[in-house]
Amino acid sequence: MSSIQKVVLAYSGGLDTSVIVKWLQETYNCEVVTFTADIGQGEEVEPARAKAQALGVKEIYIDDLREEYVRDFVFPMFRANAIYEGEYLLGTSIARPLISKRLIEIANETGADAIAHGATGKGNDQVRFELGAYALKPGVKVIAPWREWDLTSRDKLMAYCEEHNIPVDFSKGKKKSPYSMDANLLHISYEGGVLEDPWTEAEEEMWRWSVSPEQAPDQPTYIDITYEKGDIVAIDGKAMSPATVLEHLNKVAGANGIGRLDIVENRYVGMKSRGCYETPGGTVMIKAHRAIESITLDREVAHLKDELMPKYAELIYNGYWWSPERKMLQAAIDQSQEFVSGEVRLKLYKGGVHVVGRQSGQSLFDEKVATFEDDAGAYDQKDAEGFIKLNALRMRIAASKGRTLR
């Protein structure tokens, strides 16, 4: 007999997780608590309540986490200018630690023995969910049905639904998107279908959040973004909450053909995977943040941040948001943002994000020193001679010993 009495399931209301509810009830003979997170996926989450009730679920959690998601996860990540493997803005990765956190909170509230998720055994999400859960509740039991059951195809899942009278939105005759998609306020991702051939171009009909650059307006859009300590607080002079900032930027940038990405990435479990991503607002945010940092950060601080960033991004991608090393890096990153305040002006045009202005009361850009005109003695050019000779000393000594480069 199973020792599991109650399980909290991350529940979307879709085919997979609806099957998982019944499978948990039958396999573990346990009570199932469902948790559905609204993190801005662009679809109604409330229908999940009726679906869960139809499956006999008594405790149903549907939480609006949009502000917490952007404020406590997206914004801290963008302070680091985090990009995985030079391109990916980590839209799926950064949502997982929040979901893990809430799963554990609900488990504690309801006295559940375990949590469960619908991530497959091939992907990164299983790692992210479970690393987060163990970091927050070391003794928690994690159930991953895709690693246990034999329902390995959509046909088998549908047959299971028919056998157990599970209400789902799909039928064999109903057209379904050929892509596996994940969406939240930061991005929408696409995998599978024709994308499994890395030589095949993505279909134009696939994209949902952006127009193609070719179809974008012929006139540019200008926006002003205001920062306080590394976070966006206003757009075009209008104060906005974190979630509202991202919602607004997604609309404006998407309308200008910004944010599409097609990459082959290295998953933590070892395989390469081709995915397409739409991150309109995030693409604007990272460009703007680097622009405000360019005038407010000390040179060595900026360079050190750039050296630390790939490790920070890798930690998030691999699921280590709650690790001590990520927290240590975050403390350093957040300290660096103390003076990162001011305004950035951007021009959005046919898929491009162009910085056209930046200003700050904390700016380290000194016009008197940098000018090509008369600087009135602010900078003594003769000082450069000694500076150059000292930096060349080791190379001059090596050359005098015959160690010339070939």
The catalytic residue positions are 16, 96, 125, 180
Q: Are 121 and 144 in contact (CB under 8 A)?
A: yes
Rounded alpha-carbon distances, angstroms, from residue 251 to 13, 187, 208, 231, 258: 26, 12, 11, 19, 10
- The label of the residue with tokens 């898929």 reads 351
Q: What is the DSSP string of 3-64?
A: S--EEEEE--SSHHHHHHHHHHHHHS--EEEEEEEESS-SS--THHHHHHHHTT---EEEEE
- CA-CA-CA-CA torsion sign (66, 72, 78, 83): negative
Q: Give how far the C-alpha of residue 318 lies from the chain's centroid of Cα atoms, to the nearest Å.
A: 12
For strands 6-10 and 180-183, give the pairing: unpaired
Beta strands in 246-307 (DSSP E): 260-266, 272-278
Phi, psi angle pair for 381, to nearest 5°:
-65, -20
Reported residue count of the chain is 406
Structure tokens at 266: 């290295």
For strands 231-235 and 238-239, give the pairing: antiparallel
- The gap between the terminal CA atoms of the chain, to the nearest Å, is 74
Structure tokens at 60: 């149903």
Q: Are 99 and 10 in contact (CB under 8 A)?
A: yes
Q: Are 333 and 79 in contact (CB under 8 A)?
A: yes
Virtual torsion, Cα 70, 242, 47, 121, nearest 10 deg: -10
Q: Are 269 and 127 in contact (CB under 8 A)?
A: yes
298: which DSSP letter?
-
Separation between Cα atoms, residue 98 and residue 92, nearest integer Å: 11
- Three-class secondary structure of residue 257 per DSSP: coil
